[in-house]
Amino acid sequence: MARATIELQDFLADPFGVLEQARKTGWLADLNPATGVLTYADVRDLLGDPRLRANFTEFLHVFGITAGPFHEWMAMSPLNRDGANHLRWRAVLSRTFTPRRVEQIRPFLRAAAHELIDAFAARGACEFVGEFADAYPSLGLCELIGVPFADRDRFRGWANTIGLGFSPVELLARIGEVDAALTELLAYTAELAAARRAEPRDDLITRIAQAGREDGWRDDMIHGAIAGLVFAGHETTKNQLGWMVAVLSERPAIWEGVAKGEVAVPEVVEEVLRYRSAVTGVGRSVAEPIERHGERLEPGTPLLLSLWSADHDETAYPRPQDVDPARNGEMPHLAFGHGAHHCLGAALARAELQEGLAALSARLGCPTVGTDAVWKPSVGINGPLRLPLTFAPRNGR
């Protein structure tokens, strides 16, 4: 069957336009060296297909990275595993990342959002990434998984640097920085795990430290799993917060509707997640032959399951290029993935985005994004590096 060929430079210049044209040719596209999966139904099905395997280390090998702290961390990460081992890891974590436990920290999230806004609201301007998005997710993680509050600034800095490892454009040039930050973070999580074994608490870090030992994990695997939570829970939500504000800045009717209570916050958050997810795609490797729509995917084929393309598929959504919570909300988006690797922190991310949007719209008039905003390349984890805003302050405290 026919496939489009997507060149990286074309994609970076106009990602959604390129993906739309490619879907008109077929459900697959040649990305060189990977094969892209573009349509909603196929991305969703393959995310849950046991014939695929997580393959992040293969992605690193494409860039010539075959050793070092970052490579070793990803190789042993539960996120890079499948089957029974992966399910056991998820079972440990799922006892903390439950909707009930997340609901219990909503008052904390609400107060934290307003406290951050207090620092800039009266000015009528802020640099949103530095003054809100980069700080807010770490506060929720501190509260939920048991990272000491006093350490949030340190691990936020590590998480930001490690995030460079998930950008194909930045990775090779800055792998030394990534390795150094990860080495420091792993040393920190080793201390944290040891402290929890000595004095257990009712938190996720204690459970990982104890359950990992019971399940036969080496200490470095336990430390790496904790580091993965610290990173993943910060980096993706930070970028998603930036996308949320940038998208809604161009839609004042929705922003004002949220502020007045006329538009439901959860529906807006879900639609922004569909419209611009921080995670642009998911890598997998074919482990067993897959025949689909007249195509045969052979073992060893690297796949990129495009979340951006799937969540803009015209066959799944009535108005995919518009932000329309009412009409597009009937089909679940794939921003958090699907299947065995569905994001464990989805409930926390949703709560942070919802409480953040409610607080921001109550305190700020619909913001205007400055012309000097800076964005990451549209691959890997995507979002703003710098997002200057101006707005009319409100007395919504």
User: Tens digits of per-residue pLDDT, 289-309?
Assistant: 999 999 999 999 999 999 999
Look at the chain and report how many structural domains it folds into.
1
Q: Is residue 3 part of a domain?
A: no
Instruction: Supply the DSSP string of 79-105, one letter for each residue.
Output: GG--HHHHHHHHHHHHTTS-HHHHHHT
DSSP H or E run through 304: strand 302-306
Contact 274, 321 (CB under 8 A): no
Q: Which range of residues forms the domain containing residue 128?
A: 66-282+334-390
- The Cα 335–Cα 332 span in angstroms is 9
Q: Is the pLDDT of residue 40 over 90?
A: yes
State the pLDDT at residue 309. 98
Q: Is residue 361 part of a domain?
A: yes
Asked if the structure places residue 326 within a domain, the reply is no
**pLDDT confidence tier of residue 96, bands split at 50, 70 and 90:** low
- Indicate whether 78 pLDDT > 80: no
Provide φ and ψ at 252, rounded to 5°: -60, -30
Q: How many CB atoms lie within 10 A of CB 274?
A: 26
Q: What is the pLDDT of residues 14-26, one digit of tens each?
A: 999 999 999 999 9
Reply yes or no on whether the pLDDT at 328 is more than 80. yes
Query: In the structure, what pLDDT confidence band is assigned to residue 174 with cuts at 50, 70 and 90?
Result: confident
Q: Model confidence over 260-269: pLDDT tens digits?
A: 999 999 999 9
Q: Is 46 domain-assigned? A: no
Q: Is residue 84 over pLDDT 80?
A: no
Which amino acid appears at position 60 of this protein? Answer: L
The Cα 242–Cα 238 span in angstroms is: 7
The mean pLDDT of 89-105, rounded to a whole number, is 80
To the nearest 10°, the Cα dihedral for 374, 173, 381, 75? -170
Q: What six digits make up the tokens of 202? A: 């009712």
pLDDT for the residue 109? 97
Element (H, E) at 374: strand 374-375
Residues 6+ apart with CB under 8 A from 25: 2, 3, 4
What are 364's two structure tokens? Answer: 């700020």
Per-residue burial over 70-81, b if 16 or more Cβ lie within 10 Å, else e, is: bbbbbebbbebb
- 3-class SS at 217? coil
Tell me how far apart the alpha carbons of residues 64 and 44 are, in angstroms, rounded to a whole number: 30
325 in any annotated domain: no
CB 145 within 8 A of CB 96: yes
Return the SS3 of 42: helix
363 C-beta neighbours (distance < 10 Å), count: 21
Least confident range of 33-42, 47-56, 270-279: 47-56
What is the mean pLDDT of the segment spanning 107-127?
A: 97
Q: What mean pLDDT value characterizes the chain?
A: 91
168 assigned to some structural domain: yes
**Token pair 């991305």 is at which residue?**
43
CATH of residue 262's domain is 1.10.630.10
Residues in the chain: 397
Sign of CA dihedral 340, 341, 342, 344: positive
For residue 29, tell me if it sits in a domain.
Answer: no
> Is 396 inside any structural domain?
no
Measured CA to CA, the distance from residue 44 to residue 381 in angstroms comes to 19
